[in-house]
């Protein structure tokens, strides 16, 4: 990013007549690359795109030969591209990886059905075995069940927490060494930005995002929409700004007095948690005891008490199921 | 740094900034926005006076006097707990005319008045009062305002000053172009040419902020001031946190968002660090503090985008700006973000001195390399690039370029590399002189050991 030519964010002077690819100079340019504004042909775009991903993998030593890698597959464009590129690179450059697709079924009728179809197609197209884990398998509840129990107000909290753990738990169940996700620069930039707005510093190190944050609520707010719009406007004004946000995230000097996240494990299920009980267990507790407000709001996770005693809901008829009893401990 | 100084320091960012005081003729109740109280019956939660609450701060409804005291309290705390003003100091207040600098002027004037009073009543037993002056940087050369409007604006500023008594405060009005050269050549044209050579809109905006800071430094040095006080408020700092992040300046970010900045010859202090622009606007309205915003340039490009983003966030949640500031506080400040010279704190009572004196003495001389243009401390990769260039540099221009941070390199230096020489030639000499002296000492050391160096490629 330091050299003036490397980022090439300024468009080359317009040439009269021909619009040839700046890379090969042979084929006609088919698009203007958003990242660099270079005019390149389709073939060269594929090549540079895949090559940049290969460079990222190599420079950060992301994999070791023989590793079993779960590709988080949602059926969306990002994970589809990820599945395709990773299987290509694995073949081309002999990474020696054992790849498979991992999909999460939240159990929302009509929502996941289409995307799961896409993932099943990917399985066939790219020759990658597909494993699907469902919320039902992992937690004993589908999102449809949860919404029936608690309504539409705080369901996003449940789904978010459960999904975050589902990929992890699913991958562990299937004995994966690594998980890859299709988070792109825009997602990471948005994460960095949203965390600043929330009072947290997100620092990026070795391709991982470390969050220095106080235990708190994970709830959607209106500012997410503003942030997304802001990033879109920003990108229009200065395309490299997305990558600049990530660079900032990589260069934040965190004060040593800032509280580092303590990494313990959940007493009940063994998942990584900075509290006695992980977020998912707290929420499940609430569901299973008919206290769906447990874990929602500003009380610390694991505190056990209702944040608002006045809003006790009648017990649900669901059988109590502890995560430990049904699925065994997850050893990490 | 100058970027923080005016990114919505209550000064400009016109459509995005919250109500500019006195400009639109809005009734105070309407322009309070989030600070307005719907129930007229709400009384002040702070005092027993039973007065109607007109503002909310820190979750408490307050009457005008308590609100004022609340803000003054924050100002005074910032000044005293950061040892911003010593009795022997001559403080130059940067006055843009906007609400924030108007409040800063009012508050520092009050502190000075009290100091004068206690000096006079104590028969010289107490500490003497600090000197106070006011600076206004006239940027009209870059706008298209007619001359008489500018003169009127400056007259307004003079009348604001003269309304404050006691204490004579000298007003220094300096045109921005004076910082380009001190000679008699056409400075205005040269400044316009310099700015014109910058292709990027945000780059131009930021470059002018750098010039603004240099202008203040020049005024301070030429008139014997020992401190520069900016009206930069919490809202401006929140904007800067975001704009620095999106410009890839995550490493240097903490440098510009502290209370104290000693990178400059004349140290810079930010006493309104914890006050929101909305609060400052409201105070100006409540107490009819006159402001002058005719000459303010709205921020543009990315800075403008950030300002309107923060404005939307503020509407959704008024304490969002404070949250952003809290985030920035998690970043490590630099060694130049505090006063650490020996003897600096001698004026304090001995029981307080240990609190301020430098605990880690090995950080007392600041060793960071700063960007030639904006003063940002260099990150690891920028340092590496500089080192590599030092060894290989054929021309001075390459060295100057390597002394610019990656952000200035992208948005301020002209796109065409062959224009770099022209750009540097237009800069004030003392900017590039710093690099010249540094490289001269470096090359003389190199000469001494030249016989013993094994170069991979022979360069002559």
SS3 of B104-153: the string is: HHHHHHHHHHHHHHHHHHCCCCCCCCCEEEEEEEECHHHCCCCHHHHHHH
Q: Do A253 and B254 lie within an 8 Å CB cutoff?
A: yes
Q: Which of A180-194, A305-319, B84-98, B291-305 has the lowest mean pLDDT?
A: A305-319
Quick one: which of A316, A323, A309 has its CA closest to A278? A323
Same domain membership, residue A170 and residue A90: yes
Q: What is the pLDDT of residue A207?
A: 57
pLDDT at residue A315 in the model: 30
Residue of B242, B312, B415 lying closest to A10 (CB–CB): B415
Is residue A73 a known part of a binding site?
yes
**Residue A72 counted as an annotated binding residue:** yes
Query: Could you give phi then psi for residue B24, rounded to 5 degrees?
Result: -90, -10
**Which residues of A are less than 8 Å from B332 in CB distance?**
253-256
Mean pLDDT of B227-249: 97
State mean pLDDT over B332-361: 66
> In Å, how far is B324's CA from the nearest CA of chain A?
5
What's the mean pLDDT when you consider all of chain A? 77
Interface contact flag, B305 A237, Cβ < 8 Å: yes
DSSP result, A49-81: HHHHHHHHHHHTT---TT-EEEEE--SSHHHHH
Mutation site, A195, A238, A254, A261, interface B, largest B CB count within 10 A: A238
| Nearest by CB: A199 against B305, B326, B406 | B326
pLDDT confidence tier of residue B350, bands split at 50, 70 and 90: low
- Cβ atoms of residues B278 and B318 within 8 Å: yes
Q: Is the same domain home to A82 and A160?
A: yes
What's the pLDDT score for residue B45?
82
User: Which token pair is A1?
Assistant: 């990013």
Tens of pLDDT, residue by residue over B59-73, are 788 899 999 999 999
Q: How far apart are CA B20 and CA B307, in angstroms?
A: 14
In terms of DSSP bridges, do strands A130-134 and A98-105 run parallel, antiparallel, or are they unpaired? parallel
Measured in angstroms, the CA of B90 and the nearest CA of chain A are apart by 33
Question: Rounded to whole angstroms, how far apart are CA atoms B7 and A263?
Answer: 39
Using CB atoms, which residue from A4, A250, A252 is nearest to B409? A4
- Tell whether A142 and A171 lie within a shared domain: yes
Q: Whose CA is closest to B134, among B153, B162, B176? A: B162
Q: Is B302 within 8 Å of A238 when comparing Cβ atoms? A: yes
pLDDT of residue B223: 96
Say yes or no: A186 contacts chain B, CB-CB below 8 A.
Answer: no
In terms of DSSP bridges, do strands A68-72 and A130-134 run parallel, antiparallel, or are they unpaired? Answer: unpaired
Residues of chain B positioned with their CB less than 8 A from the CB of A221:
316
Residue B363 has pLDDT above 60, yes or no: no
Reported as a single tens digit per residue, the pLDDT across A159-178 is 878 887 888 888 988 999 99
Q: Tell me the sheet residues that pair with B52.
A: B43
**DSSP class per residue in A250-315:** HH--B-TTSPPPP-EE-TTT--EESSSS-HHHHHHHHHHTT-TTTT-SSSPTT--S-S-GGG--PP
Task: Using CB atoms, pick whichever of A197, A238, A250 lies closest to residue B313.
Answer: A197
Q: How confident is the model at residue B17 (pLDDT cuts 50, 70, 90)?
A: very low
pLDDT > 50? residue A308: no
B138 or B21: whose pLDDT is higher?
B138
- A39 shares its domain with A100: no
Q: Do B250 and A250 touch (CB under 8 A)?
A: yes
How many of the other CB atoms lie within 10 Å of CB of A300? 14
Residue A39 CA to its chain's centroid (Å) = 31
Q: What is the mean pLDDT of chain B?
A: 82
Residue B354: the pLDDT is 58
CB contact under 8 A, A201 and B320: no
pLDDT at A109 over 60: yes
Mean pLDDT across A212-218: 42
Per the CB < 8 Å rule, is A10 touching B379? no
Shared domain for A194 and A117, answered yes or no, is no
A208 shares a domain with A278: no
The answer to whether residues A174 and A190 belong to one domain is no
- Best mutation target, A228, A251, A254, A255, to test chain B (most B CBs within 10 A): A251
Instruction: Evaluate whether ipTM surpasses 0.90.
Output: no
DSSP H/E element including B94: strand B90-94
Q: What is the pLDDT of residue B255?
A: 96
pLDDT value of residue B40: 44
Is residue B75 over pLDDT 80? Answer: yes
Give the domains, in start order, of chain B with CATH numbers.
84-274+291-362 (3.40.50.620), 380-450 (no CATH)
Q: How far is CA A147 from CA A105, A155, A166, A181, A316, in A?
A: 15, 6, 18, 27, 12
Residue A293 phi/psi, 5-degree rounding, is: -85, -5
**Residue A263 C-alpha, separation from nearest chain B C-alpha, in angstroms:** 20
- B326's tokens: 């809290």
First vs last C-alpha separation in chain B: 40
What pLDDT does B85 receive?
A: 94
The residue that leads in pLDDT, B232 or A109, is: B232
Judge: A245–B313 Cβ closer than 8 Å, yes or no.
Answer: no
Question: B313, B327, B379: best mutation site toward chain A, by most A Cβ within 10 Å?
Answer: B327
Q: Using a CB-CB distance cutoff of 8 angstroms, which residues of chain A are in contact with residue B251? A: 248, 251-253
Tell me: do A150 and A245 sit in the same domain. Answer: no
Q: Is B305 close to A233, i.e. CB distance below 8 A?
A: yes
In a domain, A312, yes or no: no
Please give the residue of chain A at the shortest CA–CA distance from B403: A2
Per-residue pLDDT band for B275 (boundaries 50, 70, 90) equals very high
For residue A293, pLDDT over 80 is answered with: no
Is A98 in the same domain as A132?
Answer: yes
Q: How many CB pairs under 8 A join A and B?
A: 110
* pLDDT tier at B394, thresholds 50, 70, 90: confident
pLDDT at B245: 97
Please, where are the H alpha helices in A96-142?
Answer: 112-126, 135-139
Which one has a higher pLDDT value, B392 or B91?
A: B91
Chain A residue numbers touching B199 (CB-CB < 8 A)? 10
pLDDT exceeds cutoff 60 at B445: yes
Report residue A325 as tokens: 């009893």
Highest mean pLDDT, choosing among A34-48, A315-329, B194-208: B194-208
pLDDT in tens, A249-277: 999 988 876 666 667 888 888 887 878 88
Using one digit for the tens of pLDDT, what is the confidence trace for B18-41?
333 333 333 333 334 344 444 444
Instruction: Tell which of B238, B250, B359, B418 to mutate to test the A interface (max A CBs under 10 Å).
Output: B250
Q: Shortest CB distance from B248 goes to which of A1, A193, A196?
A: A1
Tell me whether residues B251 and A230 touch, CB distance under 8 A.
no
In a domain, A300, yes or no: no
Say if A35 falls within a structural domain: yes
The whole-number average pLDDT for the span B370-399 is: 89
Domain count, chain A: 4
A70 and A129 in contact (C-beta within 8 Å)?
Answer: no
pLDDT of B409 reads 95
Q: Is A182 annotated as a binding residue?
A: yes
- What is the DSSP pairing of strand B60-62 with strand B55-57? antiparallel
CB B145 within 8 A of CB B181: no
pLDDT at B423 over 60: yes
* Residue A14 resides in a domain: no
Which structural domain range is residue A84 located in?
Answer: 63-182
- Is B327 in Cβ contact with A196 (below 8 Å)? yes
HSE toward the beta carbon, residue B426, CA cutoff 13 A: 22
Same domain for A45 and A70, yes or no, is no
Distance of residue B275 Cα from the nearest chain A Cα, in angstroms: 18
Residue B169 has pLDDT above 60, yes or no: yes
Q: How close does chain B come to A160, measured CA to CA in Å? A: 23
pLDDT of residue A302: 37
Query: Could you tell me what percent of chain A has a pLDDT over 70?
Result: 74
A130 occurs within a structural domain: yes
Kindly state whether residues A26 and A72 are assigned to the same domain: no
Q: How far apart are CA B368 and CA B406, in angstroms?
A: 16
Are A174 and A131 within one domain?
Answer: yes
Residue A84 corresponds to which tokens in the numbers above?
A: 């395709």
- Highest-pLDDT range among A21-25, A134-138, B408-412, B437-441: B408-412
Q: List chain B residues with CB under 8 Å of A247.
A: 248, 250
Instruction: Please answer yes or no on whether B410 and A7 come within 8 Å at the CB atom.
Output: yes
Chain B within 8 Å of A256 (Cβ-Cβ)?
A: yes
Q: Is A113 annotated as belonging to a binding site?
A: no
pLDDT confidence tier of residue B134, bands split at 50, 70 and 90: very high
- Report the C-alpha gap between B231 and B282 in whole angstroms: 15
Q: What's the pLDDT tens digit per position in A30-56? A: 998 887 788 999 999 999 999 999 999
Confidence of residue B221 (pLDDT cuts 50, 70, 90): very high
Alpha carbon of A156 to those of A162, A196, B445: distances in Å?
A: 10, 21, 64
**pLDDT confidence tier of residue A148, bands split at 50, 70 and 90:** confident
Nearest CA in chain A to B250: A248
Q: Choose the most confident range, by mean pLDDT, from A266-270, B114-118, B213-217.
A: B213-217
Distance from B320 to chain A by nearest Cα, in Å? 7
pLDDT higher than 80, residue A327: no
**pTM across the whole model:** 0.78
pLDDT, position B348: 60
Selecting from A197, A244, A254 the residue whose C-beta is nearest the C-beta of B248 gives A244
A289 inside domain? yes
Suggest the residue from B201, B330, B385 to mutate for an interface test with chain A (most A CBs closer than 10 A). B330
The pLDDT, as a whole number, for residue A233 is 95
CA dist A307 and B267 (Å) reads 49
For tokens 């260069």, the residue is A251
A74 is in an annotated binding site: yes
**Domain-embedded: residue A244:** yes
> Residue A187 annotated as binding?
yes
The length of chain A is 332
A223/B316 Cβ within 8 A: yes
Rounded to an integer, what distance in angstroms lies between the CA atom of residue A294 and that of residue A287?
A: 8
d(CA B311, CA B186): 40
Contact between B290 and B22 under an 8 Å Cβ cutoff? The reply is yes
A321 lies in a domain? no
Q: What's the CA gap between A36 and B75, in Å, rounded?
A: 46
């Amino acid at each position: 990013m330091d050299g003036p030519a490397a980022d090439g964010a300024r468009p080359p002077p317009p040439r009269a007549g021909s619009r040839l690819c700046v890379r090969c100079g042979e084929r006609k340019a088919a698009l203007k690359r958003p990242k660099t504004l270079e005019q390149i042909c389709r073939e060269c775009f594929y090549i540079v795109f895949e090559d940049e991903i290969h460079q990222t993998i190599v420079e950060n030593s992301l994999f070791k030969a023989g590793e079993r890698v779960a590709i988080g597959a949602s059926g969306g464009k990002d994970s589809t591209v990820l599945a395709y590129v990773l299987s290509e690179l694995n073949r081309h450059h002999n990474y020696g990886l054992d790849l498979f697709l991992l999909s999460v079924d939240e159990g929302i009728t009509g929502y996941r059905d289409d995307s799961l179809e896409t993932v099943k197609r990917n399985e066939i197209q790219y020759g990658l075995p597909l494993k699907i884990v469902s919320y039902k398998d992992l937690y004993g509840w589908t999102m449809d069940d949860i919404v029936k129990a608690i309504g539409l107000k705080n369901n996003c909290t449940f789904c978010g927490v459960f999904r975050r753990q589902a990929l992890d738990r699913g991958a562990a169940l299937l004995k994966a060494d690594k998980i890859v996700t299709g988070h792109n620069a825009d997602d990471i930039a948005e994460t960095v930005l949203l965390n600043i707005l929330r009072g947290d510093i997100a620092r990026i190190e070795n391709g991982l995002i470390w969050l220095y944050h106080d235990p708190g609520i994970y709830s959607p707010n209106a500012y997410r929409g503003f942030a997304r719009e802001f990033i879109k406007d920003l990108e229009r004004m200065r395309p490299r700004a997305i990558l600049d946000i990530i660079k900032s995230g990589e260069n934040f000097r965190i004060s040593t007095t800032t509280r580092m996240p303590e990494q313990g494990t959940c007493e009940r299920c063994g998942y990584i948690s900075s509290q006695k009980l992980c977020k998912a267990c707290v929420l499940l507790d609430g569901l299973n005891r008919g206290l769906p407000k447990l874990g929602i709001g500003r009380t610390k996770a694991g505190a056990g008490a209702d944040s608002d005693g006045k809003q006790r809901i009648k017990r649900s008829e669901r059988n109590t199921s502890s995560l430990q009893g049904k699925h065994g401990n997850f050893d990490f | 740094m100058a970027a923080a100084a005016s990114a919505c320091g209550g000064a400009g960012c016109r459509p995005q900034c919250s109500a500019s005081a006195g400009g639109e003729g809005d009734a105070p109740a309407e322009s309070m926005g989030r600070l307005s109280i719907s129930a007229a019956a709400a009384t002040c939660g702070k005092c027993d006076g039973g007065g109607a609450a007109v503002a909310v701060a820190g979750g408490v409804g307050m009457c005008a006097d308590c609100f004022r005291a609340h803000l003054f309290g924050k100002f005074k705390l910032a000044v005293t707990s950061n040892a911003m003003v010593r009795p022997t100091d001559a403080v130059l207040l940067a006055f843009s005319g906007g609400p924030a600098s108007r409040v800063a002027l009012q508050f520092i004037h009050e502190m000075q008045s009290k100091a004068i009073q206690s000096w006079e009543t104590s028969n010289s037993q107490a500490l003497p009062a600090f000197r106070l002056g006011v600076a206004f940087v006239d940027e009209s050369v870059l706008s298209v305002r007619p001359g008489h409007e500018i003169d009127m604006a400056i007259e307004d500023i003079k009348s604001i000053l003269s309304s404050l008594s006691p204490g004579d405060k000298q007003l220094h009005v300096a045109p921005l172009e004076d910082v380009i050269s001190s000679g008699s050549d056409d400075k205005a044209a040269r400044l316009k040419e310099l700015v014109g050579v910058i292709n990027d809109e945000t780059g131009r905006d930021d470059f002018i902020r750098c010039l603004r800071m240099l202008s203040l430094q020049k005024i301070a040095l030429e008139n014997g001031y020992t401190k520069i006080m900016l009206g930069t408020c919490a809202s401006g700092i929140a904007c800067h946190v975001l704009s620095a992040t999106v410009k890839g300046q995550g490493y240097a970010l903490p440098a510009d968002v502290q209370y104290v900045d000693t990178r400059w010859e004349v140290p810079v202090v930010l006493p309104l660090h914890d006050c929101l622009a909305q609060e400052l606007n409201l105070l100006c309205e409540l107490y009819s503090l006159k402001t002058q915003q005719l000459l303010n340039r709205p921020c543009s490009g990315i800075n403008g985008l950030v300002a309107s983003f923060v404005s939307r966030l503020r509407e959704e949640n008024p304490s969002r700006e404070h949250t952003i500031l809290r985030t920035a506080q998690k970043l490590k400040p630099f060694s130049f973000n505090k006063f650490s010279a020996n003897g600096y704190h001698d004026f304090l009572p001995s029981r307080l001195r240990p609190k301020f004196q430098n605990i880690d003495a090995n950080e007392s001389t600041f060793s960071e390399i700063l960007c030639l243009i904006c003063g940002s401390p260099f990150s690891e990769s920028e340092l590496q690039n500089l080192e590599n260039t030092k060894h290989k540099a054929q021309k001075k221009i390459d060295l100057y370029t390597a002394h610019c941070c990656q952000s200035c390199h992208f948005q301020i230096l002209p796109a065409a590399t062959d224009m770099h020489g022209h750009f540097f030639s237009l800069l004030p000499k003392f900017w590039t002189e710093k690099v010249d002296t540094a490289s001269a000492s470096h090359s003389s050391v190199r000469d001494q050991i030249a016989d013993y160096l094994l170069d991979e490629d022979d360069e002559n």
